[in-house]
Structure 1
């Protein structure tokens, strides 16, 4: 299958290795991956901050950067949720109305696409240790993704996936929320990491770079013996020169 890849701005700037691992995973699943190097952002940061005019401008560029016929894959439930759910607020009854609807129907988060569309779940990945999976707010509530990443992780050799207490609770990032309400945000990250460590986890895995960045920041600041990993990095671990 030919697909177009959208890489979130967070990942592009801060975790490019995860983007490359996403390509490796998709190619191993039999996809031909194309990437428009002119892409930037889906507009979510501006939208969530209340700057809808600016979000619409960025979203306009996003929509025009993809073909109406293309399947679009992104390793971000957050960006997928933005396009599928909130582009309606920006582009309904505009000149991009029909293009918006086409793109909304063609964009998939990585684990959703692998499990439900391709029905491909084994990559030969290997990762020794115990892990918990963090349900990002966007993944769980906007994209309705829960079983898919867990199914993929169950196929990783050497990885023991255990339950996370309050796994469906927000990690505390929330974009500008982490800046405006630093104390609350930090306490939420602490609770998430404490629960993961109480489960004996070596890794916290999720589909959203923003959540993982927030949690890893707390981990690094407190020198804790646990690590965050994006799902794509796990699926590419042990075979793709990662």
Structure 2
């Protein structure tokens, strides 16, 4: 590839990364004034299941301050998410000739939507059930005193993990489009995917009980089936020769 073309692409990537950082910074600066409300919103799955009168605590003086900063930064990252997705797409798409059905608008819109759906499912369904279960494990003689910082870190990890996992249908569709996997391969290995879903659910969920793990494994199974559907929609009509060395078929 011509050196000038490479430099031109690197310059475009650099400018898009700068744009992502700018959006993130503006989002952080604008949302810091509302960081208390943001933090209260993130705390709601825990405070909603705690015994009456109980609250989270902090044992390190700057802990609350740093949680406010992280809450504002999290909003900034979410606001920059579409730009981040577009930047990632712009880096990989030209190398694999991804055009046609998989337009940048479609990929960015779907990836952002799937991430927010996954994070919302975690926030409204998984976290309340999981935290209620964990608090209920303690005997009546023991008071739950969750740390603000530790809870915030756990909540952010869960929200990000579920948001990322819900990208599965889009990832599978892209892999099918560039010829790495085929719908036949996905159907043939469905049973292994289901097994992997339960293993991943056991890793991601903070509780050992089967019910909460099913809350994660169930959507993973559905997402895999949606991935097969996406693979059928976006699979090239002609055999792909973009990445023949990596192509996996049934």
Q: TM-score normalised to the size of structure 2?
A: 0.24
Which structure is higher in strand share?
1
Which structure is higher in helix share?
2
Rg bigger for which structure?
Answer: 2
